[in-house]
Chain A
Amino acid sequence: MGDVVGPDLISDLPQSIIESILVQLPIREAVRTSILSSKWRYKWASITQLEFDDKCVPFSNDREVVERSVVKFITTVLFLHQGPIHKFQITNWKLQNCPEIDQWILFLSRNNIKELVLELGEGEFFRIPSSLFNCRKLNRLELSRCELDPPHSFKGFLCLRSLNLHQVLISPDAVESLISRCPLLESLSLSYFDHLALTICAPNLKYLYLEGEFKDICLEDTPLLIEISIAMYMTDDIAEHFEQSSNCNFVKFFGGVPNLEKLVGLIYFTKYLSIGIDSVHISITYHNLETIELYQVNFEDTKEILVILHMITSSPNLKELQISGSSNIPVAVDAPDLDFWEKGCFSDSALNKLKIVKLSEMGGWRHEIEFIKYLLGRSPVLETLSIIPCVFDMENNLKMLIELVKCRRASSRAEVIFINE
């Protein structure tokens, strides 16, 4: 071209480097590199990861217009692409139920797709075509706002390691059989499911995340679970179901997870576990459990407190504890049952590894204070105990503080931090 210009710096780098550069550009810019020079004309066409988000077409307020341009863009890109596609991701809220998505999935199923993420917009849910179930090499599947209906003959995704279904319409049997037919499944996330009584059989499962209106959760075959996070919402149906239940949920739930390292329970999870707890003697030990986080615990209900105590005392290596109370003001006017704290086998156990405790939404109610006393008195290596009150009422907080100051501490290094802002 001219003598001022130096040698081409970049076009002759190996394709793997070009790919890793192009993949880190927004898809639009990656495709645009085709006009840079003759060598670059089709470099973009063999990248193995295609991600389309909200920015891949020009903005417009008219959803239909945007949808049309997104559809056109994706179809053009797929048509011009050559080679395997390992990752295909659409997170575009303007895209809804379009017939072209069927064709894309069919195309991908013929191109060794390994990771598929479809996050579509609100509105009528897109029905996933059967060609998805032919993606033999699928390693990761993430679907949002779709309808999934596996055919009867479906033998499962034999390579699937990660499954994430968010607001997906699928029958309970189908979801259970899908999970059990993916032998390598390591990470499972189900959110916004309704009225599900879920049984999970996943021998390789390590990470479990559930959120929705679950009636019952049964971990039938999950020996390798390391991390669990469950948020259970309540409906009248479920409340009724809880009342009538005669199981001991605690044992049922925790029976099969000996390797558990982290547990997070939200909303009504503690309530769920509290059902049937006072009737059974619990003797499981969780040697690896190091972090427990329970939110929306109702300290008025002694059964829920029992759940916490059982969990803490069954975990000799527990390091971090986070409890959040419910912000309801206690209804009961009778004096709380303080005997509860004196009797019971909990008075003897020590929490030998507990270092960090965070308590939030503390109203200063009797049981909460007793719980704090319990923790302080039995944690010889405690380093910090932070308390965030839920009521910003000076008088109430002062009462709480006075009680706290009286508490005996087993750890000389313990710092009690009261956050009052």
Chain B
Amino acid sequence: MSLDMVMTDCGTMPYLRGCFFDIGSRCALSLANVRFHFEFEPYQINPQTDLAVIKPEMMKPYVWLQTSDDSIQQVEQEIAMFCPLICQEIIQKGMGSSKNCAICLPQQVSPAMLSLILDYCRFHQVPGRSNKERKSYDEKFVRIDTERLCELTSAADSLQLKPLVDLTSRALARIIEGKTPEEIRDIFHLPDDLTEEEKLEPLRNITADPRIRLLNRLYAKKRKELKERERSKNSEVEEHVDDRSVDDLLSFINGNDGDPKGVKTSKNKKKNRRKKEQQKNSSLKEVSELNKKEINGHDIRPRSSEAESISETSNLHNAEDDTSNPTPEFDDGYIDDEIDPALKEKLDRWDYFLTEFALLNRSYMNYCMPEEKAVE
């Protein structure tokens, strides 16, 4: 029995649901390169024409899909056809009708992602749903962790399923909106690999402002410090102020059983440090967390080996030394008990000012577009 299949223009109808065709009993019909295998009961024969409408439920062909891990699964054709890429593969290339010629899905589609995408398709291809229902389903659908959301966006894009791409990108936009850059970097695991200069320029003209250049240098040093500290950090990080002078530490290493919490610190140093701490704490109220960490990092050492803390102390000295170089107000070789307390006071205040300025600049940068005039 010859069979004629009448199909409307599939190229423009990716969401094909039913077809008109002439019935026989079990038969295989081929249309161009497409092969469908059916088994169905003859019914609803319209005597006027030889065509009959086959209800989609009667025809449940399956299509074979191969995911990124090379596993092959069988999926209801109707649902898979919701994805333009799959539809194209079936109709134009005739793939998917058996395990041997399974449609090879793009690399971004893992079995887990395919399952999610098929759930989406399964819900949305039912015509009777109200807009409200669909919207509500969509809202729930994107409540997944960010990593899977990104994977899903990528997979949907590779299958050219635009409605799902729009939905997931909207969800990602909502995640990004309103967050500080640090938070965003944290969520998406972005490396913080821009220098301060790069972050500010070209949105702000920095060449004119020597304070910014100074700041950048200070920040670079501080960041390096932090990196080193993080590397040596173990899980028991305790934030505490290490008030030990270099002499104390050295004597500890050399055999004295000093109290590691620093009872024997010189009073002067302790007083100054605490003052600095207090000053800094007051300015911390409006600052984002990372800034806080950095500032505290100035004074706080995690529990680490003594050698490390010595090198850190000396690093700290170096950092502070650096601040002394560009500005004429600093004297060389500072932060030492022998320094004139009045000068030390001055230096502390300048340090405080710099960090305040940096904080203001940072948080300003974070939340709005900076104006050209310098922050006073």
A residues near B, CB below 8 A? Answer: 1-2, 5-11, 13-14, 16-17, 20-22, 24-26, 28-29, 31-41, 57-58, 69, 72-73, 76, 80
Pairwise interchain contact B176-A29, C-beta atoms closer than 8 A: yes
A-chain residues with CB within 8 Å of residue B194 when the two chains form the complex: 35, 37-38, 41
A-chain residues with CB within 8 Å of residue B133 when the two chains form the complex: none
Pairwise interchain contact B368-A58, C-beta atoms closer than 8 A: yes
B157 at the interface (CB under 8 A from A): yes
| Complex: chain B residue closest to A6, CB-CB | B189
B-chain residues with CB within 8 Å of residue A14 when the two chains form the complex: 154, 157
A-chain residues with CB within 8 Å of residue B199 when the two chains form the complex: 34-35
With A9-B146, A11-B190 as contacts: A36 and B169 at CB distance below 8 Å: no
Q: Closest CB-CB distance, B108 to chain A, in whole Å?
A: 9
A-chain residues with CB within 8 Å of residue B166 when the two chains form the complex: 20
User: Residues 193-206 of chain B: 1 if any A CB is under 8 Å from the residue's CB, otherwise 0?
Assistant: 11000110011000
Pairwise interchain contact A13-B181, C-beta atoms closer than 8 A: no
Pairwise interchain contact A1-B191, C-beta atoms closer than 8 A: yes
Give Cα A350–Cα B32 distance, bound, in whole angstroms. Answer: 53
Give Cα A365–Cα B184 distance, bound, in whole angstroms. Answer: 65
Give Cα A33–Cα B192 distance, bound, in whole angstroms. Answer: 12
**Would you list 17 pairs from A and B whose C-beta atoms are within 8 A, ordered by A residue?**
A2-B231, A6-B189, A8-B190, A9-B146, A13-B153, A13-B154, A17-B165, A20-B169, A21-B169, A21-B173, A24-B170, A33-B176, A36-B185, A37-B190, A40-B190, A58-B368, A73-B369
B147 at the interface (CB under 8 A from A): yes
Pairwise interchain contact A37-B193, C-beta atoms closer than 8 A: yes
With A28-B369, A35-B365, A37-B185 as contacts: A10 and B165 at CB distance below 8 Å: no
B338 at the interface (CB under 8 A from A): no
Q: Closest CB-CB distance, A222 to chain B, in whole Å?
A: 28
Pairwise interchain contact B173-A24, C-beta atoms closer than 8 A: yes
With A9-B147, A14-B157, A57-B369 as contacts: A2 and B190 at CB distance below 8 Å: no
A-chain residues with CB within 8 Å of residue B154 when the two chains form the complex: 13-14, 17
Give Cα A76–Cα B157 distance, bound, in whole angstroms. Answer: 32
Pairwise interchain contact A2-B230, C-beta atoms closer than 8 A: yes
Pairwise interchain contact B176-A25, C-beta atoms closer than 8 A: yes
Give Cα A157–Cα B157 distance, bound, in whole angstroms. Answer: 34
Q: Closest CB-CB distance, A57 to chain B, in whole Å?
A: 7
| Complex: chain B residue closest to A14, CB-CB | B157
Pairwise interchain contact A10-B190, C-beta atoms closer than 8 A: yes
Give Cα A340–Cα B314 distance, bound, in whole angstroms. Answer: 105
B-chain residues with CB within 8 Å of residue A21 when the two chains form the complex: 169, 172-173, 176
Pairwise interchain contact A25-B177, C-beta atoms closer than 8 A: yes
B150 at the interface (CB under 8 A from A): yes
B188 at the interface (CB under 8 A from A): yes
B-chain residues with CB within 8 Å of residue A10 when the two chains form the complex: 150, 172, 188, 190
B-chain residues with CB within 8 Å of residue A33 when the two chains form the complex: 176, 184
